[in-house]
């Protein structure tokens, strides 16, 4: 759905127009795309006023969240917009929504040229509460009145532990310009930091000292060995999921960007293409596969050696493009992992009680109920191995929880003869 400037101004009564646009039954973000022109800021102000007035009779739920952004080139307005965009994404994800793109948020209004949000609920009201400026950072707090989705998975109540492995440079010779060979390690550190600060459903662990054999196994389609690698890494690090990535293209374009500005140094466009893969640590199977493609000007001299961990690099246009790509990855990862099962590996069995490796850090509380899965792996007729599970007839309830583990007991006080160490306690 696209609303043009002419269509907006065709309404004689602006308050009625605002009410019609933001009435909860109509303002559903599911697969919806609004296009607003910047000249409509006054009309959009009326939309927010009407929205705030109408929210008293709505049945939505208020979500409050914070967003942070770096102020670049003294442009505090752009930084504020980015911070509000980040905060809105967080609020929508918590409410069960998924944001595909939010380009600009200005003065507490949804005034972006293009906003595309898909969600299973709808937004009734959105407002800016506070904004603080410290050094080169802006922190904002926003509040959104969001209609929650009708059905939300229980697994969203918990954080899943995920192991982030060192990325693979598919064409190492491309890193020669700038001597940026360490990008394979640094960008995963940045991704982990962004997941920690902006993600909602993940608890990260890092394995960056050595590279895995992922790329070789992936390119040769050795999926059975790849499953074994994943399960081994997950077991060694006590992780539920394993993330791999490949930097597929960081090449330099042949044509310079500033043909007409002959007095300046030549600036070339540089690619940044990265592939993301997430595998289930208990089965080794792939559950997410995404490719991200982008480019930005390389503002450095081609013979200059660049420290990819420096602020100088990350505040450049190319570094900012990588940062935006990582932000998109965090959103996609959160969205896809939200309803993945929360799996705890059983580390002790004693009578009718078990201990598994999920705790307060993952959101587990006393009284939570988990199902039990007994491993039942098998080999098919074509000699491929598969991970199977038998569901136990008994459920367990958590009666003791520490930071990294929990003890749970069967509800009917039965001995769990078939449950063993390395079986799973699962919350769907």
Domain 154-337: top CATH class = alpha beta
Number of Cβ within a 10 Å radius of residue 70: 16
Q: What is the pLDDT of residues 263-318, one digit of tens each?
A: 445 788 999 999 999 999 988 999 999 999 999 999 898 888 999 999 999 999 99
Q: Which two tokens stand for residue 280?
A: 């289930």
Pick from 84, 22, 90, 29: which is nearest to 57 by CA? 22
Task: Evaluate if residue 367 carries a pLDDT over 50.
Answer: yes
Confidence of residue 99 (pLDDT cuts 50, 70, 90): very low
Q: What pLDDT was estimated at residue 283?
A: 86
**Burial class of 221 by CB neighbour count within 10 A (0 to 12, 13 to 18, 19+):** exposed
255, two tokens: 């044509």
Closest CA to 411 of 371, 375, 373: 371
Q: In the prediction, which pLDDT does 44 show?
A: 33
Q: For residue 401, what are the contacts with CB-CB under 8 A and spacing of at least 6?
A: 359, 360, 364, 365, 366, 407
Report which of residues 413 and 257 the model is more confident about.
413
Read off the DSSP letter of residue 147: P
Mean pLDDT, to the nearest integer, of 380-393?
Answer: 71
Q: Is the pLDDT of residue 104 over 70?
A: no
Angle, CA 351 vertex, CA 348 and CA 352 arms, to 5°: 95
Q: Which helix (H) or strand (E) holds 334?
A: helix 317-337
pLDDT at 265: 57
The DSSP element (H or E) to which 389 belongs, if any, is: strand 389-401
Q: Tell me the mean pLDDT in the region 112-116.
A: 39
pLDDT value of position 314 = 94
Phi, psi of 189 (to 5 degrees): -60, -40
Residue 187's Cβ-count burial label (10 Å; 0-12, 13-18, 19+) is buried
Indicate whether 1 pLDDT > 50: no
| Contact criterion met (CB below 8 Å) for 265 and 297 | no
Report CA 74 to chain centroid distance, whole Å: 28
Residue 241 has pLDDT above 80, yes or no: yes
Mean pLDDT, rounded, of the chain: 75
For the record, the structure tokens of 115 come out as 């906003």
Q: Answer for the pair 79, 94: CB distance below 8 angstroms, yes or no.
A: no
Q: What CATH class has 342-427? A: mainly beta
State residue 163's pLDDT score: 96
The C-alpha atoms of residue 285 and residue 386 are separated, in whole angstroms, by 9
Give the C-alpha separation, 304 to 265, whole Å.
13
Please tell me the least confidently modeled range out of 65-69, 97-101, 404-408: 97-101
Determine the Cα–Cα distance for residues 350 and 331; give it in Å rounded to an integer.
Answer: 40
Q: How far apart are CA 86 and CA 79, in angstroms?
A: 11
Give the number of other Cβ atoms within 10 Å of residue 230's Cβ. Answer: 29
Extents of the domains making up the chain: 5-63+73-78+88-130, 154-337, 342-427
Instruction: Say which range, 5-19, 111-125, 225-239, has the weakest mean pLDDT.
Output: 5-19
Query: Would 154-337 and 342-427 be classified into the same CATH topology?
Result: no
Look at residue 98 and tell me whether its pLDDT is greater than 60.
no
Question: Please, are residues 148 and 224 in contact by the beta-carbon 8 Å criterion?
Answer: no
Q: What is the pTM of this model?
A: 0.64
Average pLDDT score over residue span 202-227: 92
User: 385 in helix, strand or coil?
Assistant: strand
State residue 314 phi and psi, 5-degree precision. -75, -20
At 345-356, the pLDDT tens digits run 899 988 888 999
CB within 8 Å of 40: residues ≥ 6 apart: 5, 8, 111
The mean pLDDT value for 73-101 works out to 71
Long-range contacts of range 385-388, CB-CB < 8 Å, 24 or more positions apart?
Answer: 385/224, 385/227, 387/227, 387/282, 387/283, 387/284, 387/285
pLDDT tier, 413 (very low <50, low <70, confident <90, very high otherwise): low
Residue 394: which of 356, 359, 355, 425 has the closest Cα? Answer: 425
Q: Determine the average pLDDT of the residues in 362-366.
A: 90
Give the span between the Cα atoms of 61 and 76, in whole angstroms: 30
**How high is the pLDDT of residue 155?**
64
pLDDT for res 282: 86
Instruction: At 166, list the tokens.
Output: 């060192």
């Amino acid at each position: 759905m696209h609303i043009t400037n002419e269509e907006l101004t065709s309404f004689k009564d602006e308050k009625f127009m605002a009410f019609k646009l933001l009435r909860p039954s109509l303002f559903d973000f599911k697969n919806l795309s609004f296009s607003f022109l910047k000249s409509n800021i006054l009309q959009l102000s009326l939309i927010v006023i009407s929205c705030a007035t109408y929210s008293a009779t709505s049945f939505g739920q208020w979500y409050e969240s914070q967003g942070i952004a770096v102020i670049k080139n003294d442009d505090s307005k752009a930084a504020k917009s980015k911070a509000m965009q980040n905060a809105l994404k967080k609020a929508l994800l918590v409410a069960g929504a998924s944001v595909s793109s939010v380009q600009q948020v200005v003065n507490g209004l949804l005034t972006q040229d293009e906003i595309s949000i898909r969600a299973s609920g709808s937004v009734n009201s959105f407002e800016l509460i506070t904004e603080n400026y410290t050094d080169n950072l802006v922190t904002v707090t926003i509040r959104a009145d969001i209609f929650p989705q009708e059905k939300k998975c229980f697994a969203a109540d918990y954080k899943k532990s995920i192991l982030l492995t060192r990325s693979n440079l598919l064409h190492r010779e491309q890193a020669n310009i700038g001597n940026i060979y360490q990008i394979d390690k640094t960008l995963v550190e940045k991704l982990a930091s962004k997941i920690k600060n902006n993600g909602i459903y993940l608890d990260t662990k890092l394995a960056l000292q050595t590279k895995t054999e992922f790329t070789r196994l992936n390119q040769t389609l050795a999926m059975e060995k790849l499953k074994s690698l994943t399960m081994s890494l997950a077991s060694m690090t006590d992780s539920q999921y394993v993330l791999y990535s490949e930097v597929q293209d960081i090449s330099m374009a042949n044509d310079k960007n500033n043909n007409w500005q002959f007095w300046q140094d030549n600036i070339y466009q540089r690619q940044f293409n990265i592939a993301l893969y997430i595998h289930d640590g208990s089965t080794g199977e792939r559950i997410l596969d995404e490719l991200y493609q982008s480019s930005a000007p390389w503002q450095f001299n081609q013979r200059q050696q660049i420290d990819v961990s420096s602020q100088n690099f990350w505040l450049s246009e190319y570094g900012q493009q990588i940062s935006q790509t990582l932000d998109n990855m965090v959103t996609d990862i959160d969205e896809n992992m939200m309803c993945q099962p929360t799996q705890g590996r059983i580390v002790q069995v004693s009578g009718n009680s078990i201990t598994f490796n999920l705790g307060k850090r993952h959101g587990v509380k006393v009284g939570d109920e988990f199902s039990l899965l007994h491993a039942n792996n098998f080999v098919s007729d074509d000699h491929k191995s598969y991970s199977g599970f038998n569901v136990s007839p008994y459920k367990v309830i958590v009666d003791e929880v520490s930071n990294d583990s929990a003890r749970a007991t069967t509800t009917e006080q039965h001995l769990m003869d078939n449950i063993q160490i390395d079986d799973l306690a699962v919350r769907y």
